[in-house]
Each structure stands twice: as structure tokens, then as C-alpha cells.
Amino acid sequence: MEKYFFYILVIFLILVLWETVKYRLHLIRRKKISTVINVNGTRGKSSVTRLLCFALREAGFKVMAKTTGTVPQILAVNGEVKSIERGAYPNINEQLMVVHEASSEGADILVIECMAVDPNYQKVVEEKMLRSDIGIITNVRNDHREVMGATKEQIAEALCNTIPRGKVVFASGGDGFGVIKKNTEKKRSRLIRYRPAESLTDELMKPFPFLEQRENVALVLDVCKYLGVDQETALRGMYKTIPDPGALTSIKLDWEGKWFEFVNAFSTNDPDSLAMIWRRMSRKFQAGQKNFFLFNSRMDRPYRSVDTASVFSTFPIDLFLITGDGTGLFHRALLKSGVPKGKIRLLGMRGAESIFKTCIDEAAEKNFVFCGGNIKGRGLEMINYLEGMGSLSK
């Protein structure tokens, strides 16, 4: 018995030594990267990461970026875009691999999107893996309430786990700012409130070849300014950005004699952000058009379904189309909010072609179809189907 115990102890000590050596090597690689930027927040993380990458490259920095949006990708120093192959579930150890690759490629700056939702994992990634020089909290909105908390204050508290110690953090002056300020002071870091989105003109936003949110651009401009990059150079780089596969787009097409504009907001999951996009697009509404809301549901995101139904039940929507799994929750929430049963169609797990045939059958001469909820599952399938048929526009 003692002999077996001795062997087990030796194996255990070897494993501990091996993990210790691996971690020391990781810290050496991390020190080779001058600046690590950890991008967190409820919405806009992938967009901000990509915009920052291209803006800083334009200024001459060697930049690597990693996003975990619709498809997890690495934007390598040489400009190559590589998709990350994952197992059944994402693993935060992926961030160790990214640091290793950035160090090997000689990156000056690593811009990395926070991939963890669980506050404990966020803390581990920041304090043990990244030890970032710049922290970013894009915004605080109602999403992932199952894990992060029921209120915006609780969500802000969770997001604060990625604030670096003794460094700098950028945040908006909106919801949760007081919580972020308190946590920044606790970690003896400097808090910079980025400029309001309203300060950006239409002329400045016009050159983007895709629909980009002003607050994302405002944030990136201020981070670039902090790093010594002038606005003209930063914008020139941002205009060259390769967007995330699930980025906000508008797809227009003439279908069986009927005109459609489909807005792909599937990657915008929280109701506050979705409502902002809806209001922005509603400025272009035409008289006599029919408005659809195509919601792709996920059974494991119940709060998202209920909160979105509550908000969108107040908008001038003629027909709600519900796809995905767990459609009953969104359906019941709409009915509870006063939406008539006749304005709802339950489409379940139908394929993209069948879903859009319903759109055509229910359509008027001019139609606006707002797509939101979740990109995963039917969302990406529907967008790929549409992109093969229509023209992308701003």
C-alpha cells in the first residue's frame, strides 16, 4: 500500500511541476507583448476588437486580435484571418494559446475579446492569463442574466472582473458607470469615460462599408488617442475593417414582385441594443410598408426571450415570426404583453427556405424584416441564405 501511495505522490508532484513550468513559460510570453487590451462588455465586443485591430495597424503597430463572435477567429499579425477549431464547448485555456501565438508572431499589441460569461472565469482570465494593460467595458445592458445577475448593477459588477490592476480602463458614462468607477478605484486604476456616440457626425460614419454602431467607433477613437494615434489615421484603418461574420447588415432584395429589406441583428442579443437598432432603422420606414420581427429563440436564454418580447411588443410590428427552440417562452411573453394572437407565427425548427416562404406569403408590396434574438442555430443559416439572394448595403 505504501508503495502505491509513493508512486501516486511522485506522479502528482511531476504534474504540479509540469503545470508550474507551463505557467512560467506563459508569463514569459506575456511579457514579450507590450500592450494587451482586454475587451469586455455586454454588446459590441467583437466589433470593438476588430475596429481597434485595424485602426492600430494603420498606425504602424504589429497587432494581433482574437474575437469570439459568431465564429471565433484570430486576426494574425500578417493580416490572415484564421478560424479557431473548438471541441464541444469553449474553454478559457484558448486565451493561453492566443497569447502564445501573439508572442511568437512578435505582436506589439494583442486585442482580445473576453470569451467568458461566468464572472469567476472572467477574473481568472484577466488576473492569471492576460494581466492586461488596457481594460474596456463597452457597455452594461440586460443580457446573460442567468449568470451575471438580474440587475444592471449586478451585471456591471460581473463585468468589472476584467478591470486590470493599476492600469487604465475605458467605459461609457451610461448604465453601471458608478459600479465601474467604484471597482476601478478599488483596483487603483484610471477610469476614462469615452466620448458620447452623438459626437460623431453622419459624414464620419458614411465611409463604413457595413452598419457600425457609433458608440463602438467613439470608444475606439478614444483608445487610439490614448495610445498616440490621431483620429484621421484611426478612422482610415477602421474603414478597412473586416467585420465579424455576424455583423449588423442590411440585405435588400426584390422577391416574387415584393420588395424586402432584411436587417441582420441576430448577433445583437440584448433588448436594449436591439431597440436602439430598431429606432435607428425606423427613420427610413416607408409609408404603407409591413413590419416583421423575426426572432430566433434559444431555450437556454429564457431572460433574453422574455425581456425582448416585453420591449418589442410596444413597437409598430405587424407580424412576429418565431423560430428556433424554446419558442413557447417568447410566444407567451408576447401574449402577456398584449400582442394579439393573430400577429404571431410559430415556425419552430423549420429551415431557412420555409421560414422565408412564410415571409413572402404574409408580405405586402414593401416589407421590413428585423431579425434578432440569437445568431446560433437558425440565425446564421438564415443570413447565409439571404446573402446568397440579395444585395448587402448600409
Q: pLDDT, tens digit, for every residue of 72-98?
A: 899 999 999 998 887 667 788 899 999
Residues 50 and 88 in one domain: yes
Instruction: Provide the mean pLDDT of the chain.
Output: 90
Residue 357: CATH number of its domain: 3.90.190.20
Query: Are residues 373 and 295 in contact, defined by beta-carbon separation less than 8 angstroms?
Result: yes
* Residue 22 within a domain: no
Residues 276 and 225 in one domain: no
* Residue 206 within a domain: yes
At residue 394, the pLDDT reads 43
At residue 281, the pLDDT reads 87
Judge whether residue 145 has pLDDT over 90: no
Residues 138 and 191 in one domain: yes
At residue 37, the pLDDT reads 98
At residue 390, the pLDDT reads 57
Nearest C-alpha neighbor of 146 from the set 330, 374, 306, 373: 306
Average pLDDT of the residues in 388-393: 57
- Reported as a single tens digit per residue, the pLDDT across 196-248 is 999 999 999 999 988 899 999 999 999 999 999 999 999 999 999 998 877 88
Residue 158 CB-density burial (10 A; 0-12 exposed, 13-18 middle, 19+ buried): buried
Question: Of the candidates 191, 212, 238, which is a domain's last residue?
Answer: 238
At residue 53, the pLDDT reads 98
Residues 324 and 196 in one domain: no
* Residue 24 within a domain: no
* Residue 10 within a domain: no
Residues 272 and 355 in one domain: yes
* Residue 244 within a domain: no
Average pLDDT of the residues in 147-151: 89
* Residue 62 within a domain: yes
**Full domain range(s) for residue 307:** 249-393
Residues 258 and 204 in one domain: no
* Percentage above 90 pLDDT, the chain: 64
Work out the pLDDT band at 392, boundaries 50, 70, 90. Answer: very low
Domain count, the chain: 2
Residue 115: CATH number of its domain: 3.40.1190.10
Residues 360 and 224 in one domain: no
Question: Of the spans 64-78, 104-118, 139-153, 379-393, which averages the highest pLDDT?
Answer: 104-118
Between residues 229 and 380, which one has the greater pLDDT?
Answer: 229
- Reported as a single tens digit per residue, the pLDDT across 243-271 is 887 788 888 888 888 999 999 998 888 88
* Percentage above 70 pLDDT, the chain: 97
- Reported as a single tens digit per residue, the pLDDT across 317-371 is 999 999 998 899 999 999 999 999 999 999 988 888 899 889 999 999 999 999 9
Residues 216 and 67 in one domain: yes
Query: Are residues 63 and 77 in contact, defined by beta-carbon separation less than 8 angstroms?
Result: yes
Residues 63 and 164 in one domain: yes
At residue 388, the pLDDT reads 75
* Residue 8 within a domain: no
Residues 212 and 278 in one domain: no
Residues 177 and 94 in one domain: yes
Q: What is the 3-state secondary structure (H, E, C) of the chain?
A: CHHHHHHHHHHHHHHHHHHHHHHHHHHHHHHCCCEEEEEECCCCHHHHHHHHHHHHHHCCCCEEEEECCCCCEEECCCCCEEECCCCCCCCCCHHHHHHHHHHHCCCCEEEEECCCCCHHHHHHHHHHHHCCCEEEECCCCCCCHHHHCCCHHHHHHHHHHHCCCCCEEEECCCCCHHHHHHHHHHCCCEEEECCCHHHCCHHHHCCCCCCCCHHHHHHHHHHHHHCCCCHHHHHHHHCCCCCCCCCCEEEEEEECCEEEEEEECCCCCCHHHHHHHHHHHHCCCCCCCEEEEEEEECCCCHHHHHHHHHHHCCCCCCEEEEEECCHHHHHHHHHHCCCCHHHEEEEECCCHHHHHHHHHHHCCCEEEEEEECCCCCHHHHHHHHHHCCCEEEC
At residue 9, the pLDDT reads 76
Work out the pLDDT band at 393, boundaries 50, 70, 90. Answer: very low
* Residue 215 within a domain: yes
Give me the amino acid identity at 262.
Answer: F
Judge whether residue 391 has pLDDT over 60: no
Residues 335 and 188 in one domain: no
Sign of CA pseudo-dihedral 274, 239, 235, 49: positive
Question: Of the candidates 204, 238, 272, which is a domain's last residue?
Answer: 238
At residue 86, the pLDDT reads 76
At residue 5, the pLDDT reads 74
Number of neighbours of residue 97 by Cβ within 10 angstroms: 14
Question: Of the candidates 174, 206, 238, which is a domain's last residue?
Answer: 238
Average pLDDT of the residues in 20-39: 91
